[in-house]
Amino acid sequence: MGFLEFVKDMFSEPAILMGLVSFVGLVAMRSPGHKILTGTLGPILGYLMLSAGADVISGNLDPLSLMIEEGFHITGVVPNNEAVTSVAQEVLGVETMTILIVGLVFNLIIARFTRYKYVFLTGHHSFFMACLLSAVLGVMGFESVSLILVGGFFLGAWSAISPAIGQRFTLQVTDGDEVAMGHFGSVGYYLSALIGKWVGKGSPSTEDIKVPEKFGFLRNTTISTALTMVIFYLGSAIAAGPEFVATLSDGQSPYLFAILSGLKFAVGVNIVYAGVRMILADLLPAFQGIADKIIPNAVPAVDCAVFFPYAQTAVIIGFISSFVGGIIGMLVLGAIGGVLIIPGLVPHFFCGATSGVYGNSTGGRRGAIVGSFVNGLLLAFLPALLLPVLGDLGFSNATFGDLDFGWIGILLGKVGGQFGTFGIYVIMIVVLVVLFLPSIIKPSKTALNNIELEEEE
């Protein structure tokens, strides 16, 4: 059990996963020892830096959520992947761990033998999805080997399919850099890009916003993020009242606490950007070794925060628009008597910001605003619809946040509830057809939808 626990931890730790991938790629290219060492450590340190920045962001968003709940008298369920996973681990620990490992193996097999040549490197999201699948499939009667194989298949298949679906949009976001989206909020990002195409004709990019000379300091993303968040925090602290904020501030002046929290948030975003630059500098060249020798034309699918530096103004616009969408979604749910889904600031920041980046890539400012607003609405409605599926397991006060968890859990839950295990096997057959059909229709060694590679050939 100790060894299995070690392997599970290793494969659910994205920093180690990226380092291993980089190591294998560099060895495959027969790089000298010192390059293997630096090229392996670079992505590990870069991802740890990204994680440290994300922890600073999340840690400072938690008190903001509490101040908003207190100040505006909101009670309900806050979608949180980490919370629901920790609850599920008490009853589904072994199943989740084995589905995670089997899913990774399926992802590599699919990348090797189909045109879905995307290797999913965001290990903690694979872990969350493994947890969701073990929970939902377990309710339907799957157990032991069948649960692990079916869950692992769905995890491995979606890990390869989800980056491919929106790779055309991802190439637009990155201006041709050969990375893919490896994050299970993917449907929201691609929908945002589609909405950008529909509504953003002629709209200038968020990155071209003209700033008068006296406000030139706002072009500095760290400064503009800090000012925006300080306003957010101060407004929430005033609404919550100094007595309540004092319970969060550990004796510090409540309003100084609010100002410092906003500034620390901006520091967290800056650390994320620095980590991303470090990851890309070493991972992409090393990944060529895997693409050339092991899985021809493989494409790394990486965390959503990796895409923030490509449109830094869109990150803040996307977050705010998504959060507004989440508030409106919450009010609609309240009006129709549904479960109140309180906007979780962590999913709204990371998923909303990424939706803003994708919406901006196809539709400029209008695309960023409307695309991430729709993402925010879905971040309210899908977790609410997922709750009954998870409620069967006693997770009644916890639900997953990001969109892929929502729609996959709802689909499997509804089909399994209606048709039992037979319905799930039918979905598996459909997924197998989706995986192999592109190779039959248009045989090619290139990754599906990775347009740049296809054009070079």
Q: Which residues contact 216 (CB under 8 A, 6 or more apart)?
A: none
Main-chain dihedrals φ then ψ at residue 127, nearest 5 degrees: -65, -45
Predicted confidence at residue 396, as pLDDT, reads 52
Main-chain dihedrals φ then ψ at residue 252, nearest 5 degrees: -75, 155
pTM, two decimal places: 0.81
Which residues are 181's β-sheet partners?
A: 302
Predicted confidence at residue 387, as pLDDT, reads 81
| Alpha-carbon separation of residue 8 from 93, 144, 267, 310 (angstroms) | 10, 17, 32, 32
Query: Of 1, 418, 360, which is closest to residue 200 (Cα–Cα)?
Result: 360
pLDDT in tens, the chain (457 residues): 577 777 767 766 778 877 888 888 888 888 898 989 998 998 889 888 888 887 888 788 778 878 888 887 776 776 777 667 766 666 666 777 788 878 988 998 999 999 999 999 887 788 889 888 988 888 888 888 899 999 999 999 999 999 999 999 999 999 888 899 999 999 999 999 999 999 988 889 888 877 666 666 656 767 877 888 888 889 889 988 999 999 998 888 889 999 999 899 889 888 887 887 787 778 777 777 777 778 888 899 998 988 998 998 899 899 999 999 999 998 898 888 777 787 877 788 889 999 999 999 999 999 999 999 999 999 999 988 888 877 655 555 667 888 999 999 999 988 988 888 899 999 999 999 999 999 888 888 788 888 654 444 3
Predicted confidence at residue 12, as pLDDT, reads 67
Number of domains forming the structure of the chain: 1
**Domain membership of residue 186 as a residue range:** 2-456
Instruction: Using the structure block, give the residue that is written with the tokens 């494409």.
Output: 299
Predicted confidence at residue 86, as pLDDT, reads 63
Q: Which residues contact 107 (CB under 8 A, 6 or more apart)?
A: 119, 120, 155, 156, 159, 160
Predicted confidence at residue 52, as pLDDT, reads 86
Predicted confidence at residue 453, as pLDDT, reads 43
Predicted confidence at residue 454, as pLDDT, reads 45
